[in-house]
Amino acid sequence: MTHASRGASRRMTLTSMTVLVTCALLAACSTGPAPTPSQGGSQGTASSQPSTSAEDPGPSASESAAALPEPSGTMSLYTSAAQDTVDAVLAAYADVAPDVSVEVFRAPTGELDARIAAEIREGQIGGDVIWGTDPLSVQSYASQDLLEAWTPPEAASVPEEYQTDTFWGTRLLNMVIVHGADSTDPPTDWKDLAGAAYADGVGIPDPGFAGSAFAVLGYFASNPDFGIEYYQRLADNGATQVQAVAEVLTGVAEGRFSAGMTLDKSARDAVAQGSPIEIVWPSSGAITIYSPVGVFAAAQNMDNGKHFANFLLTPEGQAAIASTGWQPVRDDVDGPPIDGEQVSPEWSEIFDRQQELLDEYRAIFGG
């Protein structure tokens, strides 16, 4: 069962790295199944932030955080979010928490999961906050009681379908189709990618590496109009699996693929940089994925972690996210244009099926 998201009315391969970012400096410079699958995005410089709604801007970050202890010291963030988005958020966070230094470990979902799995075996997760790409990956931690159950002051600003009692959506990612700008018969919907016109010409990202692709797998597999058989049809039609969504973009731009699946933000960035691709918003809907934040139950800096997680849900945090091209989860913060219908799986129906879904996919496309 699927549902259309409210986005029509609202408005990436990277290696693991650890950076220590002092928020005060940023303010001045402004610059088993748990371990299964995200996608890191392209790096760049944060653009200017859009203003929040003039009608109801909501409480400021400082007002929202009044119910939380004053943060100071350090905090460790584990994330698969795009580098430019992380940079923009940390710069904005420095304005409200100048006494907090944020240590960031950023990697694609598959690599992030592998690190956390290793730390679990060693007895202590090193991060305080997990900011993932997709709910399936983050829910796998919740199912092991690794995430703290609490209520952020800003939780009410997140639509009900994008939150649980341990994690909350921060942004919406839309999986769309891209094709070469010189195409004379461009695809219009997902089923076209398995058609004869695109035989041996489609690139798809690996759901074991990219969290967005993992969520899309959940959508297709749970939708009776597609099912896991959709991937079999793609494979039979000669589709090629690559690691990351960015590789799909590169492959289409270079002519190695005629078309493929990628994220709208990444595709818009590529078009703005002159890439010879065009974006198709599928007629049946772009697949919309919410990117959740949660706090580890064993966080060594619990208060700081909660303060940062809540900040991502504030108008200021959402504006920072939107400034880098992602659709914010809040209704009262402007984001990029939404060019058609948005669809998502019923997330609760596929929670705890992560390994099953990945195994079914691997049986078709391999590891």
Q: Based on the fold, state whether residues 277 and 305 are members of the same structural domain.
A: no
Residue 102 is predicted with a pLDDT of: 98
Pairing between β-strand 100-106 and β-strand 73-79 as defined by DSSP bridges: parallel
pLDDT at 34 over 70: no
Residue 70 lies in a domain: yes
- Average pLDDT of every residue of the chain: 86
Domain count, the chain: 2
Taking residue 361's Cβ as centre, other Cβ atoms within 10 Å add up to 24
DSSP letter at 147 equals B
pTM, full prediction: 0.82
Residue 61 is predicted with a pLDDT of: 61
Are 323 and 46 in contact, with CB atoms under 8 Å apart? yes
Residue 156 lies in a domain: yes
Q: Based on the fold, state whether residues 279 and 296 are members of the same structural domain.
A: no
Please give the structure tokens belonging to residue 92: 């904005």
Q: Based on the fold, state whether residues 236 and 360 are members of the same structural domain.
A: yes
Q: Please choose, from the candidates 318, 258, 261, the residue with its C-alpha nearest in 3D space to the C-alpha of residue 286.
A: 261
Among 4-13, 152-161, 334-343, which stretch is predicted with the lowest mean pLDDT? 4-13
Residue 66 is predicted with a pLDDT of: 61
Residue 32 lies in a domain: yes
Residue 239 lies in a domain: yes
Query: What is the rounded average pLDDT of the residues 326-339?
Result: 96
Q: Distance between CA atoms of 291 and 174, rounded to whole angstroms?
A: 11
Residue 345 lies in a domain: no
Q: Based on the fold, state whether residues 178 and 316 are members of the same structural domain.
A: no
Residue 28 is predicted with a pLDDT of: 32
Q: Based on the fold, state whether residues 108 and 248 are members of the same structural domain.
A: no
Higher pLDDT, 237 or 38: 237
Q: Based on the fold, state whether residues 86 and 165 are members of the same structural domain.
A: yes
pLDDT at 50 over 60: no
Q: Based on the fold, state whether residues 210 and 354 are members of the same structural domain.
A: yes
Residue 27 is predicted with a pLDDT of: 34
Q: Distance between CA atoms of 210 and 8, rounded to whole angstroms?
A: 25
133 in the Ramachandran plot: left (φ > 0), alpha (ψ -120 to 50) or beta? alpha
Residue 38 is predicted with a pLDDT of: 36
| Segments forming the whole domain that contains residue 222 | 173-287+350-365
pLDDT band at 366 (very low <50, low <70, confident <90, very high): confident
pLDDT at 14 over 70: no
Q: Based on the fold, state whether residues 305 and 275 are members of the same structural domain.
A: no
Q: Based on the fold, state whether residues 165 and 181 are members of the same structural domain.
A: no
Residue 37 is predicted with a pLDDT of: 41
Please state, for a pLDDT cut of 70, what percent of the chain lies above it: 82
pLDDT band at 53 (very low <50, low <70, confident <90, very high): very low
Distance of CA 150 to the CA centre of its chain: 22
Q: CA gyration radius for the chain? A: 19
Higher pLDDT, 33 or 346: 346
Query: What is the rounded average pLDDT of the residues 135-154?
Result: 96
Residue 250 lies in a domain: yes
CATH number at residue 144: 3.40.190.10
Query: What is the rounded average pLDDT of the residues 2-25?
Result: 37
Q: Based on the fold, state whether residues 24 and 64 are members of the same structural domain.
A: yes
Residue 39 is predicted with a pLDDT of: 35
Residue 344 lies in a domain: no
pLDDT band at 116 (very low <50, low <70, confident <90, very high): very high
pLDDT at 29 over 90: no
pLDDT band at 54 (very low <50, low <70, confident <90, very high): very low
pLDDT at 222 over 70: yes
Q: Based on the fold, state whether residues 167 and 177 are members of the same structural domain.
A: no
Range list of β-strands (E), 313-358: 327-328, 342-345
Among 46-60, 71-85, 288-302, which stretch is predicted with the lowest mean pLDDT? 46-60
pLDDT at 65 over 90: no
Residue 155 lies in a domain: yes
Residue 67 is predicted with a pLDDT of: 77
pLDDT at 105 over 50: yes
Query: What is the rounded average pLDDT of the residues 35-46?
Result: 35
Q: Based on the fold, state whether residues 15 and 153 are members of the same structural domain.
A: yes
Query: What is the rounded average pLDDT of the residues 191-208?
Result: 97
